[in-house]
Amino acid sequence: MRPPSPGYSITVRVEVPAATTATAALTAAVGSAGGALTALDVVESRTDRLVVDVTCDASDEAHADRIAEAMSEIPGAVVRKVSDRTFLMHLGGKIEVNPKVPLKHRDDLARAYTPGVARVCLALAEHPEDARRLTIKRNTVAVVTDGSAVLGLGNIGPIAALPVMEGKAALFKEFGGVDAWPVCLDTQDTDELVEIVRAIAPVYGGINLEDISAPRCFEIEARLRELLDIPVFHDDQHGTAIVVLAALTNALRVVDKRIEDVRIVVSGVGAAGHAIIRLLLAQGAGEIIGCGRTGAVHAGQEGMDEFRTWIAENTNSARLDGSLKEVLAGADVFIGVSAPNLLTGEDIATMAKDAVVFALANPVPEVDPVAASKYAAVVATGRSDYPNQINNVLVFPGFFRGLLDAGISDITDEMLIAAAKAIADRVENGQLNPSYVVPSLFDPGVAPAVAAAVRGVATTGARMLPATPV
């Protein structure tokens, strides 16, 4: 059973006899069922009965049911209600729109809306380049998805994708001060999706593509970058690649190896895997072997699309063939962006001494982190309940903050590498150890550092948007 997680937190309202052992019995019941108690609050008291809210973490929905059942079996206990705290957080959605200007009387209304707003409209009709100065455009990003590849859930569609996009928008605001809004499109036709985004682009200062399946996502991003004069960033590709490079930079410092000298195996050659391989090569990585469902990718294989062909032509120079487990033997680094439970601890044992393992499939990684840690020197996952959480939240708020502030429309490899270095540098030498190779998601210095790195990159050849007066 997986460890309890806040993602499966419940609050059980239970009525028990008013005995001195009442709360102790509840605590014991949660513990006996394997739950992690986080709060216990008496909400009602009578001479003979207590009503208590018991809050705890479970490992999944079935486990939550077992915890509630354990409390119901206490003599004299009655479970009144079980509340799923994750669903409670999502009631009514997680974001809202708030005005930035006062609207208290007719004078305010006359300037914010009619008749005064007409003057601003006419000014923009004559000088559309002033939209970044006079509208929300300068600080607004569209979070665009078609719901075709949501988290590890697959093609669940735009409605089911909305809670993820809301969360993304909330993170943009919380960590980067960027106003983002979900745009969940009910089409998976590439041409139609590109045209819709092109048509709505005037409102936004940037486009963040999210959870769009490969290989369509590559074409969609490339076409939009060609069509639009605002930055287009597929976070599943580039955000993942940036944070992986940052974590690998520090992990290699821990094991005293150089990126030029290590052999890296990447499991998953879709959007994230392709971008990771591309960025690692740009940073000077020596030998990389990409693995798909059927094993190692190499030149000469048939039936590959242009993106997998690029991987085949630029990696695995020795043309190693075989399964993921076979090519992993002797490797220094494993990076998984694929599927759960592909490997065991014994597979990690076949890797080189002081191996680095990034098992990033979510919510269940490619290999159990506890099993991997018996053999690897550094282990990281995408989960919040293990050390070294590799998460794109470290990237996209600051990256877009830098793009919007600088008015940059083109995104270059130099920017991606600079962002990775900024994240890696947030872990100082005195902090670096096998359990801390990336900064905390709540480190307030990460987003400003990433934004500064993006702004500071030389933009030779990049398109610059019109300067925006402060």
The rounded distance, in Å, linking the Cα atoms of 9 and 15 is: 20
DSSP label of 201: G
Instruction: Report the C-alpha dihedral over residues 297, 299, 301, 304, rounded to 10 degrees.
Output: 70
The residue count of the chain comes to 470
The encoded tokens of residue 129 equal 């380049």
Cis peptide before 115 (omega within 30 of 0): yes
Among 66, 115, 44, 58, which residue's Cα sits nearest to residue 86?
58
With a CB cutoff of 8 Å and minimum separation 6, the contacts of 326 are: 295, 296
For the sheet with 333-336, list strands across it: 295-296, 287-292, 263-267, 333-336, 356-359, 378-381
Based on the residue annotation, tell me whether 168 is a catalytic residue of this protein: yes
The whole-angstrom separation of Cα 235 and Cα 143 is 10
SS3 213: coil
Residue 188, SS3 per DSSP: coil
The string of DSSP codes covering 120-139 is HHHHHHH-GGGHHHHSGGGG
* Catalytic residue list contains 204: no
Catalytic residue among 8, 137, 168, 204: 168
Which residues contact residue 115 at a Cβ distance below 8 angstroms, ignoring those fewer than 6 apart? Answer: none
Catalytic (active-site) positions:
113, 168
